[in-house]
C-alpha cells in the first residue's frame, strides 16, 4: 500500500531566521526514500492580517495528504481542511512576551484553534507540552514530544584547552528570553570575554558597555562557523528564562564544551546531568555558577564526559524514526473523533 504523501509547510522566513527550516529540511531528506515528502513555503510573510488570511487559503488545495505545519505559523493549519493535519509547536515564548488584546489573539489563533483543529500536535520538550496544556483544554495524548536533533557537524573538539585566567564565554541568541542583561551583570566582575552569536539591539549594547563587558558579536554564521565558535569557547552560558528546547546545550555537549544553563523551562530536561543549573532570575546564582565552572576543573571534566553521553539522546536517526511512526499512525487511524 502506497504511503500518504506529506507536505511540510514552512513559514516564509525573514532574514537571519533558519533554525526551524534546518530541522525539517533534514527530516525531509531522511524520509524521502520511504514516502513522498514535499516542502511548501507559505507565499506571504506572517506580518499582517491580510497576509495570514492569504496563507491560510493557500493550503486549501492540498487534499488527501498529511499536512504538517512545521512551526511558528500555527494559524496556517486552519486552511488544511482536506488533509490529515500535524502541528509542531516549538515554544510559547511569543505568548509570554505579549499582553492584552495581542496576547488574546495569539492565544486563540496560534494555540487554541490550531491545537483543536490538528489531528496530532508535536512539541519539542515536555516543558512545552505542559505549557500548551495550560493554555488549551485538549486530550494530552494528542500531543507527542519529539525533540529536535543535533546536526552531525557538532563533534568533539580534539586537544581542547581551558583558559581559566580569562575564559571565552559563548552565548547563542539575543532574544528577550536569552537573559543577556542579567548575564552581563553577573559577569561584570569576572575577567572574561563574551562571544555573542546573534544580532544585538542598541539597548543590549548599552547594557554591555555599562558593565564594561568585553564582548565580540557575530551574526549570520554558517554551521561550520558556529562549530568554530564552540571550538574556541571555554564555557557555554545559556541562562534563558524560557526555552522550547535549547539546542545550544546539546551542541555544546557534543563538542565537549562545559555548559551552564537555567534550572527552569525545558533546560533541565534537555541538559540532563550534563550541565550546571542556576536560577536565571538570580544574578548572584548565575555569577556563582560561572565562577564555580571556571575554578573547578573536576566539575568541568565531569560535565564534559556526561555531555558526550547526553548528546546521543538527540541523534537524527532517533528523531526521524519518531516522525515516521507518527505519520504512519495518522494515516492508519479513523480520525472521525480525533479533534478533542
Residue 340 in any domain: the answer is no
Distance CA 268, CA 255 (A): 19
One domain for residues 79 and 133: yes
Residue 159 in any domain: the answer is no
Residue 56 in any domain: the answer is yes
**119 neighbors 338 (Cβ within 8 angstroms):** yes
Q: Is the pLDDT of residue 316 over 80?
A: yes
Read off the pLDDT band of 290 (50, 70, 90). very high
**263 neighbors 320 (Cβ within 8 angstroms):** no
One domain for residues 122 and 179: no
Residue 256 in any domain: the answer is yes
- Under DSSP, is residue 265 helix (H, G, I), strand (E, B) or coil? coil
One domain for residues 213 and 235: yes
Total domains in the chain come to 2
Q: Is the pLDDT of residue 311 over 90?
A: yes
Q: How many other CB atoms are found less than 10 A from the CB of residue 58?
A: 16
One domain for residues 116 and 200: no
One domain for residues 306 and 321: no
CATH number of the domain that residue 244 is part of: 3.40.50.2000
Read off the pLDDT band of 34 (50, 70, 90). confident
One domain for residues 27 and 93: yes
The pLDDT value recorded for residue 335 is: 59
One domain for residues 137 and 246: no
CB-based burial label for 49 (10 Å; 0-12, 13-18, 19+) = exposed
The pLDDT value recorded for residue 337 is: 44
One domain for residues 117 and 244: no
**272 neighbors 168 (Cβ within 8 angstroms):** no
The pLDDT value recorded for residue 323 is: 95
Look up the pTM and report it: 0.89
Residue 163 in any domain: the answer is no
Distance CA 112, CA 119 (A): 13
Residue 239 in any domain: the answer is yes
Distance CA 114, CA 87 (A): 8
Residue 172 — φ and ψ, nearest 5°? -100, 120
Residue 28 in any domain: the answer is yes
Residue 154 in any domain: the answer is no
**Which of 327, 331, 338 has its CA nearest to residue 122?**
327
Distance CA 155, CA 267 (A): 21
Q: Residue 306 is part of which domain span? A: 168-313
Distance CA 260, CA 186 (A): 13
Read off the pLDDT band of 340 (50, 70, 90). low
One domain for residues 16 and 87: yes
One domain for residues 176 and 294: yes
Cell of 188: 561584570
Amino acid at each position: 500500500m502506497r504511503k500518504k504523501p506529506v507536505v511540510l509547510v514552512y513559514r516564509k522566513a525573514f532574514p537571519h531566521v533558519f533554525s526551524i527550516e534546518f530541522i525539517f529540511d533534514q527530516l525531509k531528506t531522511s524520509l524521502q526514500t520511504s514516502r513522498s515528502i514535499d516542502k511548501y513555503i507559505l507565499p506571504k510573510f506572517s506580518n499582517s492580517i491580510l497576509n495570514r488570511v492569504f496563507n491560510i487559503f493557500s493550503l486549501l488545495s492540498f487534499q488527501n495528504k498529511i499536512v504538517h505545519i512545521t512551526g511558528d505559523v500555527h494559524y496556517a493549519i486552519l486552511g488544511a481542511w482536506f488533509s490529515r493535519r500535524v502541528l509542531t509547536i516549538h515554544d510559547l515564548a511569543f505568548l509570554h512576551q505579549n499582553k492584552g488584546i495581542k496576547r488574546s489573539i495569539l492565544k486563540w489563533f496560534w494555540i487554541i484553534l490550531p491545537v483543536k483543529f490538528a489531528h496530532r500536535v508535536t512539541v519539542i520538550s515536555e516543558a512545552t507540552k505542559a505549557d500548551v496544556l495550560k493554555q488549551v483544554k485538549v486530550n494530552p495524548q494528542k500531543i507527542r514530544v519529539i525533540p529536535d536533533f543535533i546536526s552531525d557537524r557538532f563533534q568533539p573538539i580534539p586537544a581542547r584547552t581551558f583558559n581559566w585566567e580569562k575564559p571565552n564565554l559563548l552565548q547563542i541568541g539575543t532574544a528577550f528570553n536569552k537573559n543577556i542583561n542579567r548575564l552581563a551583570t553577573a559577569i561584570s566582575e569576572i575577567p572574561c570575554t563574551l562571544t555573542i552569536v546573534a544580532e544585538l539591539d542598541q539597548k543590549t549594547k548599552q547594557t554591555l558597555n555599562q558593565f564594561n563587558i568585553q564582548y565580540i558579536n557575530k551574526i549570520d554564521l554558517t554551521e561550520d562557523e558556529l562549530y568554530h565558535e564552540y571550538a574556541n569557547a571555554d564555557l557555554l552560558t545559556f541562562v534563558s528564562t524560557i526555552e522550547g528546547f535549547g539546542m545550544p546545550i546539546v551542541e555544546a555537549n557534543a563538542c565537549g564544551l562545559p555548559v551552564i544553563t537555567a534550572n527552569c523551562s525545558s533546560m533541565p530536561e534537555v541538559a540532563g546531568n550534563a550541565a550546571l543549573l542556576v536560577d536565571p532570575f538570580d544574578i548572584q546564582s548565575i555569577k556563582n555558577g560561572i565562577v564555580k565552572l571556571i575554578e573547578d576543573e573536576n566539575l568541568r571534566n565531569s560535565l564534559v564526559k556526561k555531555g558526550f553521553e547526553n548528546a546521543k539522546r538527540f541523534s537524527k536517526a532517533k528523531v526521524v524514526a519518531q516522525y515516521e511512526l507518527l505519520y504512519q499512525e495518522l494515516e492508519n487511524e479513523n480520525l472521525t473523533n480525533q479533534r478533542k
